[in-house]
Structure 1
Amino acid sequence: MVAAVGGERAWRLAPAFLGLGLAVLALGPALGWGFVLRYDLLFVPDPPLLPDTGGFPRAVPSDFVVALLSRVVPAEVVQKAFLVGIFVLAASGAAALVPPERRLARLVAAAFYAWNIYLAQRLMLGQWALLLGVAGLPWAVRATALPWPRLALALLPAAIGGFQAMLVSALTLLPIAALRSGTRVAPAEGGSRGASVLGVAGGAVTSPRGVFAVVGVLGVFSLPWLVPALASGAVTDPAGVDAFAARADGPFGVLGSLLSLGGIWTAEAGLPGQGEWWAATVRLLIVVVGVFGYARLRVGGDRPGWWRGLAVAAGAGFCVAGFGALAPGPLKWLIGLWPGFGPLRDGQVYLAPLVLLTAVGLGSVLRSGIPAVVGVLAPVLVLPTFAVGAFGRLAAVEYPREWREVQRIVNADPAPGALLSLPWGAHRAFAWNGGRVVLDPATKLFDRRVIWDDTLLVGLPDGGRLRVRGEDPLNRRAGDLLGRPDFAARLDVRYVLTVGTENRFPSGLTGWTTVFEGPDLVLLRR
């Protein structure tokens, strides 16, 4: 009896342990001491609780949560916890949408949802906050039929992730709530245990209050970023539609890449060998099998209560993903009309419901025996270069001491005024970080306002580069004023931080005092 209970508990925890194993395999050297710094994956030591920021609040409230946790444990540990948590949360959540008696099928869904090209490409771009919400998505799907406190708990990862994570959650949950409300969701008498867990047809009709609960929780959890976004005065460059449109990353064109859950807009997010015909073909076949399995999904003879809504969300997400590539004109017009349509530029983000649908569908087809074992192993075998830190693309490094010294000097100064970060560009590539490109660390390091160039230069398939103007009005104004002798007074600049060995003392900064000079950093004060 005790052995049976222990065995049942082991199977129940198996998806989480599988997610943990996949996290160790994927992150590899990134789990060493230090920070993983790559594009948007920017963590800093001792981050300020309430930095003075402007523009669109992309890192709200994720930066605040990181800073709060960093008061308890080192920021290096906080970053590792979030990265590992993405894999564990994704694997266990996908498994939770499969009936518990289908033990191997749960592992199939867990393995695919925690190891796929969508997750890999987004992690290579450093979008950990988005992935945190995507990882929690299956738990939120499951909670749409539960009381609102359970739904709020399930949506907490997306709430921490911020605007992109919440928009993906809204795209997924609203159709589920709307289409579930008029279907029978409680299991009929004698229904299976799996039916009870998943809430399939067979009982009382759901109240429309379920829809209001989903809308209410989504709305409240969006306030931390929505309110500052509406008050920020941020602008969106319609050129971003072309820059962030989905692109072909395999032999099957843009639509084929999206159908295989890839198609991200930058080659820098790619993995070695992902474009090989055999790998792209197998990825596409896996999705086809997953969609087929989802179409045939039954639990206790009925469909889960979320079945129809998730299918609609996956279809809508796929359409949004292809919008920028296939119909950029209307999207540019919408963004020009209102910057709030800007999040639709990076449409590939909204493939997340299709990723989840595929994972659940694979668990429906590959239920037991050898097919299920193959299903557990297939995601890693098809995308092997995601392992070991994506073959070295992810690794942990320590900030040189000069960064901590500059942070200490600036944060200890009570005098008002912003810090200007030079050279004028959004990203840095440091030798101590292995030459990996990362967002300027100065943007998250100081208590005071940091003025920086949030313009993005995006490479195009023809070898050209597309310039997408920044969203922060103050940063835009600073770019226009740089080089003028009165720029510091007009921008209320107290410090200038220059990075690199060239142009360490920019022209036009006469009368400034050098308060720190290190191998890579120079800090000037007015």
Structure 2
Amino acid sequence: MPALYALGLTLAITAPLLAPGYLLLRDAVSTPRSYLSDAALGLSEAAPRALPQDFFLAVFSPVIDGGVLVKALLILGLWLAGWGAARLAASVVNAGLGGQLVATTVAVWNPYVAERLLQGHWSLLVGYGCLPWVAASALRLRLPHLVFWIALAGLTPTGLLLAAVVALVCCRTWRSVWVVLAASAAAALPWLVATVVARSVLPVASAGVPAFSARAEPGLGTLGSLAGLGGIWNGSAIPVSRTTLWAVVGTVALLVVVAFGARRAWSTTATRPLLVLAVASVVVPALLATGAGSTFLDWLIRTSPGTGVLRDGQKWVALAMPGYALAGAAAVEVLRRWLPMAFAAAGCCVVVLAGLPDLAWGVGGQLRSVQYPAGWYSVAAQINSDPRPVAVLPPDVIREFPWVGPAPVLDPLPRWVSADVLATGDLVIGGRTVPGEGVRARRVQELLLRGADAHQLAAAGVGWVVVEGTAPTLPLPITYRDKDIALYRIGGTTPAASERGLLIAAHLVWLGMVIGGLGAMAWQRRRGARLSQSP
């Protein structure tokens, strides 16, 4: 029953994605096919933020359309969050069916899920969905399960770090601690090796911390927004209800349910680490959003560039979800003093759901499937037939396409071609430019903007130039043009990276953990079933 309820909530949110098409919304970019390009392996100037998800898509998109694959993983992540929260509540606080349904509702139906969907962080939500399973596996000392869930959460670096923190606070033995550390290190190999080999994480002049700090929502302040699992830095990536004083109503509704069960949940020793973690995951990002906190974090990232993953402080609020879910489940037991269990559970679920009414149907219709224009298929096919480095105009990595909708999206081209697409990684947030790591791409873009000819661009190692959207024709050899996209053949090239084998090996370690862990879990389950049936 909890698994079906979790699936129902998930489909109530993601139903628009069941239509044919691709997920294209801010950071979420899916394409028909991905390739094992240097960028997909982390061999580029940009920090390896999308590893090993890009490797995973490159390996499996030849078998399953990339758009279907991304949408299926997103749905899987939300479903796992709800189902896992119910399982965790059943095993830790001995919650009945009513408590499990409340835990599911708290885990799936909250501002964190809404805001990360609108920001396009689908792979982060896969990691988010693994957190209750990680907690349950660590508390029950099921080490093969723990390895699998940590590896699956490691589809993105942030997901891996979230899972490792949850696992460590739940560990009961030193053996478990060492298993968590070893599994986390192995799952991190794709982006750790890429960082060392490509030297992509270098000191920066400005980390842009204030632009990514947690944001106060109407009537709540920063601390209140974070306590309600909201407060993402991007004020455009929020449900409409969170832009009004209804944000206060929704936050109070969620916190009342959590508060009702917090004391009851605290009475269970195994729950306490997760409740403490929930408080810390709200308070610490709130402190880092202050002037002093931002100054400290900016200094830390500039002096230790590998800590740049800490810049988006609100995403760490995900660590509160397992504790919130357990407290929500325990609230049903508290309310049973005055109400029948069914009424108590239904009341808690309705309160949480009503607090964020526009999470339904793709967060009020903002999340939907999109179709690529025909020209994009033609351009991608020509580049893939001769994969030379690609320069792109306009220079920003964020695009606004009329066929996508009003929200911006990352340039899809780097994930659709096997060639190296030169991108600066610069972001403009609130009129302020946060510089990226693409030094070579910046030089090439300066050449393009100055009107360099084909010989100058070829000497700089440019093989193709793509102009996305309507723009004047460039004085370069053109091979394709329509109202959506244009392609120019330049002919330059650069030497292939020599470390591809090492990066592929690092990714195969991670993939082996996922497949091997899943196989070990299936074998244990089958063995347990046989033993239970034996006389």
Letter in 1 for 2:356: L
CA distance 1:72–1:84, change in 2 (3 Å): same
Residue 476 of structure 1 deviates from its aligned partner by 3.8
Residue 33 of structure 1 deviates from its aligned partner by 0.5
Partners of 2:96 and 2:51 lie apart in 1 by 39
Letter in 1 for 2:238: G
Residue 292 of structure 1 deviates from its aligned partner by 5.0
Residue of 268, 274, 281 corresponding to 1:303:
268
The within-5 A match list for 1:132-281 is 132-145=126-139, 146-160=141-155, 162-177=156-171, 180-181=172-173, 208-231=174-197, 232-235=199-202, 236=204, 238-281=206-249
Residue of 343, 358, 367 corresponding to 1:370:
343
Q: Which residue in 1 is equivalent to 2:277? A: 313
Are residue 293 (structure 1) and residue 261 (structure 2) matched? Answer: yes
Partners of 2:294 and 2:81 lie apart in 1 by 32
CA contact (8 A) 2:19 2:369 kept: yes
Q: Which residue in 1 is equivalent to 2:24? A: 37
CA distance 1:237–1:85, change in 2 (3 Å): farther
Residue of 361, 379, 382 corresponding to 1:409:
382
Q: Which residue in 2 is equivalent to 1:111? A: 105
CA distance 1:371–1:276, change in 2 (3 Å): farther
Residue of 445, 467, 470 corresponding to 1:498:
467
What SS does structure 1 have at the residue aligned with 2:101? helix
Please give the per-residue CA displacement for 1:354-378, whole angstroms capped at 9, x wherever unaligned.
1221121010012422121122233
Are residue 399 (structure 1) and residue 368 (structure 2) matched? Answer: no
Q: Which residue in 2 is equivalent to 1:361? A: 327
Are residue 340 (structure 1) and residue 311 (structure 2) matched? Answer: no
Please give the per-residue CA displacement for 1:41-89, whole angstroms capped at 9, x wherever unaligned.
1001111134445111111111221232222222232122112112211
Residue of 100, 103, 115 corresponding to 1:121:
115
Partners of 1:258 and 1:39 lie apart in 2 by 22
CA contact (8 A) 1:38 1:394 kept: yes
Q: Which residue in 2 is equivalent to 1:462? A: none
Residue of 429, 435, 444 corresponding to 1:478:
444
CA contact (8 A) 1:234 1:473 kept: no
Residue 390 of structure 1 deviates from its aligned partner by 1.7
Partners of 1:493 and 1:411 lie apart in 2 by 15
Residue 278 of structure 1 deviates from its aligned partner by 4.0
Q: Which residue in 2 is equivalent to 1:4? A: none
CA contact (8 A) 1:256 1:284 kept: no
Residue 304 of structure 1 deviates from its aligned partner by 4.7
CA contact (8 A) 1:233 1:473 kept: no
Please give the per-residue CA displacement for 1:299-322, whole angstroms capped at 9, x wherever unaligned.
xxx6253x2322333233223312
- 424-433 or 51-60: which moved more? 51-60
CA contact (8 A) 1:420 1:451 kept: yes
Partners of 2:303 and 2:193 lie apart in 1 by 20
Are residue 524 (structure 1) and residue 491 (structure 2) matched? Answer: no
CA contact (8 A) 2:254 2:355 kept: no
Q: Which residue in 2 is equivalent to 1:351? A: 317
What SS does structure 2 have at the residue aligned with 1:405? helix
CA contact (8 A) 1:324 1:345 kept: no
Identity %: 33
Residue of 84, 89, 95 corresponding to 2:75:
84
What SS does structure 1 have at the residue aligned with 2:391? strand
Q: TM-score, length-normalised on structure 2?
A: 0.83
Partners of 2:472 and 2:304 lie apart in 1 by 39
Partners of 2:250 and 2:400 lie apart in 1 by 35
Letter in 1 for 2:53: S
Partners of 2:205 and 2:104 lie apart in 1 by 38
Residue 481 of structure 1 deviates from its aligned partner by 4.5
CA contact (8 A) 1:241 1:324 kept: no
CA contact (8 A) 2:16 2:367 kept: yes
CA contact (8 A) 2:28 2:122 kept: yes
What SS does structure 1 have at the residue aligned with 2:195? helix
Letter in 2 for 1:88: W
Gaps of 5+ in 1: 1-13, 182-207, 460-464
Letter in 2 for 1:423: P
Please give the per-residue CA displacement for 1:88-137, whole angstroms capped at 9, x wherever unaligned.
11111000111266011101101110110011101100001111001111
Q: Which residue in 2 is equivalent to 1:192? A: none
Letter in 2 for 1:310: L
Q: TM-score, length-normalised on structure 1?
A: 0.84
What SS does structure 2 have at the residue aligned with 1:264? coil
Are residue 425 (structure 1) and residue 396 (structure 2) matched? Answer: yes
CA distance 1:118–1:255, change in 2 (3 Å): same
Partners of 1:174 and 1:353 lie apart in 2 by 12
Q: Which residue in 2 is equivalent to 1:201? A: none
Partners of 2:482 and 2:31 lie apart in 1 by 19
Q: Which residue in 1 is equivalent to 2:356? A: 383
More helix by share: 2
Q: Which residue in 2 is equivalent to 1:72? A: 63
Partners of 1:273 and 1:213 lie apart in 2 by 43
Residue 275 of structure 1 deviates from its aligned partner by 3.5
